Amino acid sequence: MKQSFSIGGRRVGGDAPLLFIAEAGVSHFGDMKLALELVHMAAEAKADVFKTQFYDVDAMIASRAADWKERLRPRNLTLDQFAELKALCDAKAMLFMSTAHSESRIPWLEKLDVPAIKVGSGERNNPAFLERLARLGKPMIVSTGMHEEADVHESVMACRRGGCSELALLHCVTSYPAPPADINLRAMDRLAAMYDVPVGYSDHTEDFLAVLGAVARGAKVIEKHVTILRNVPNAQDWKVSAGPENLAQLVRDIRRLEAMLGHGRKEPAPSEVPGMAWATKSYVAARALPAGHVLVDDDLIAKRPGDGVPANRIADLRGRRLARPVEADAPVRLADIV
């Protein structure tokens, strides 16, 4: 597996900026006008990816769950409508992706030539389906909600068998909304330790704290649900979604936080350099010292500003003879000694 790879020309993993996925899911509720508005919203917020979901309720849900079938049936779009959404994403320079929830929708992924395959947490313990998706020859992003470590391993092995070498794993808690005590962001660290692949977080919380925490913890991919409509009966995604009022701010905050993470080396920041002279200390004379005086430690005091001999270089002064007199509280410089 690769530590870094490209999705639609956009590098994922390594030191690349994280990939932000605006997950529209079924928040269009089958309304094409609303679906187009969601694309515009995601693009204006500067999301990297607009993602939706492909499904055939009869292929995805058994007849004994008839209420779920009837709830989801009208919240669907046609292949032609998804092609229109993809065209708008292309025009907005935003990647289009979708999750296929059944074998019957895999050809849709191929026809729309999605740049990567997003797998939902619901494919836990479904390795044959993951292997089939992997054979499409695309990078894969797999959510791991409801997974134990053995389940994650089963999914990763299925992807490998299908020929996938470009895989990202997303920690996720499949609850709407997920309680704060269940979020367990440290599971990202475990995924990274188990597999040398990019790791991220798919969020189902009511606010943005967990998302920002995941960014600070090193997420390479973030997925957040988006919506325009609120308080929709028999729907749950809107409870954990960003919307027109705050999606753009979320993306800005993520990018600011990414910038704050920096390069990881411990060294003075460029903005610190101008202040280094006044904020640090250098040696001054503890009292008036005559020419010819041999310096001892008690002759020297470290005070601001730090434009003279630094306080960690007393050995350069100790035992040296002054070539000229130095007034009390005046800097003792290397040019003053012989």
Nearest-angstrom CA–CA distance, 284 and 327: 9
Q: Are 240 and 298 within one domain?
A: no
Q: Are 136 and 251 within one domain?
A: yes
Show Cβ contacts of residue 335 under 8 Å, excluding neighbours closer than 6 positions.
none
This prediction's pTM: 0.91
The answer to the question of residue 134 being in a domain is yes
Share of the chain above pLDDT 90, in %: 93
The answer to the question of residue 3 being in a domain is no
- Greatest Cα-to-Cα distance within the chain, rounded to the nearest angstrom: 101
Q: Are 241 and 299 within one domain?
A: no
Q: Are 150 and 105 within one domain?
A: yes
Strand partners, 168: 141
Q: What is the CATH number of the domain that holds 304?
A: 3.90.1210.10
State which amino acid sits at residue 266: K
Output the pLDDT for position 252: 98
The answer to the question of residue 2 being in a domain is no
The answer to the question of residue 116 being in a domain is yes
Tokens representing residue 191 in the block: 């995924």
Residue that terminates a domain, selected from 261, 290, 314: 261
The answer to the question of residue 266 being in a domain is no
Q: Are 102 and 171 within one domain?
A: yes
Residue that terminates a domain, selected from 220, 235, 261: 261
Nearest-angstrom CA–CA distance, 219 and 211: 9
Q: Are 257 and 311 within one domain?
A: no
The domain tally of the chain equals 2
Q: Are 189 and 276 within one domain?
A: no
Residue that terminates a domain, selected from 234, 261, 288: 261
Rounded to an integer, what is the distance from CA 238 to the centroid of its chain?
Answer: 22
Condensed to tens digits (0 to 9), the pLDDT of residues 36-74 reads 999 999 999 999 999 999 989 888 899 999 998 888 888
Q: Are 157 and 59 within one domain?
A: yes
The answer to the question of residue 1 being in a domain is no
Q: What is the CATH number of the domain that holds 132?
A: 3.20.20.70
Residue range(s) defining the domain that contains residue 131: 8-261
Helix boundaries (H) for 32-126: 32-44, 57-60, 66-72, 79-91, 106-111
The answer to the question of residue 95 being in a domain is yes
Per-chain mean pLDDT for the chain? 96
CB 216 within 8 A of CB 257: yes
Nearest-angstrom CA–CA distance, 137 and 106: 12
The answer to the question of residue 314 being in a domain is yes
Show Cβ contacts of residue 257 under 8 Å, excluding neighbours closer than 6 positions.
212, 215, 216
> End-to-end alpha-carbon separation of the chain, Å?
63
pLDDT band at 267 (very low <50, low <70, confident <90, very high): very high
Output the pLDDT for position 69: 81
**Measuring CA to CA, which residue among 195, 218, 148, 172 is closest to residue 2?**
195
Rounded to an integer, what is the distance from CA 146 to the centroid of its chain?
Answer: 21
Q: Are 236 and 316 within one domain?
A: no
Nearest-angstrom CA–CA distance, 154 and 160: 10
Output the pLDDT for position 137: 98
Q: Are 217 and 296 within one domain?
A: no
